[in-house]
Amino acid sequence: MNPKKILIDTSAWIVSFKKAGDAELKEFMKRSIVAGLVATSPIIILELIQGCRTEPERDTLRIRLESLDVLAITSDVWERSYGLGFSLRREGLTIPTADLIVAATAIHYDCILLHHDRHYELIGRVDSSLQIKRLGPPPPERVMSRQRVPSPES
């Protein structure tokens, strides 16, 4: 049996980039990359590139990320994203679109999603097929939108 691929979310990458980032997370990521288990997606690459300060930094990061297994955002991934977004809004939660797409990608490709973002815990409550792993201290609290969802008829 082959070990599962690990889709590393932007939130985990960001923690790992920090000098004072979590040592356990950094070591886990390093071992997973060396073992060839790490995957990414275009939406994660986009989010990380947005944080680059210079063109050379952007180009280097893009080359490194694209050397990983890049999981396509297929029509099935989009369909799963739509369903997750709809279900979560019915629960009164608004989750960032990128997080819905990343979660749907992990589910579609049967990956473990390594993250450092509370949104994935909430998504996992709605769709138990999302396999999540978080290392290090709890992510910071964020204000979550809990508002009534108007119906299309209103």
| Domain range summary for the chain, segments of one domain joined by + | 6-134
pTM of the model as a whole: 0.86
| Assigned token pair, 106 | 């992990």
Alpha-carbon gap, residue 59 to 56, rounded angstroms: 5
Q: Is the pLDDT of residue 57 over 80?
A: yes
Tell me the residue ranges of DSSP E strands in the chain: 6-8, 38-40, 69-70, 112-115, 131-134
Distance between CA atoms of residues 48 and 58, nearest Å: 9
The class of domain 6-134 in CATH terms is alpha beta
Give the three-state DSSP class for 19: coil
Q: What is the pLDDT of residues 61-109, one digit of tens each?
A: 999 999 999 999 999 999 999 999 999 999 999 999 999 999 999 999 9
Distance, CA of 79 to chain centre: 17
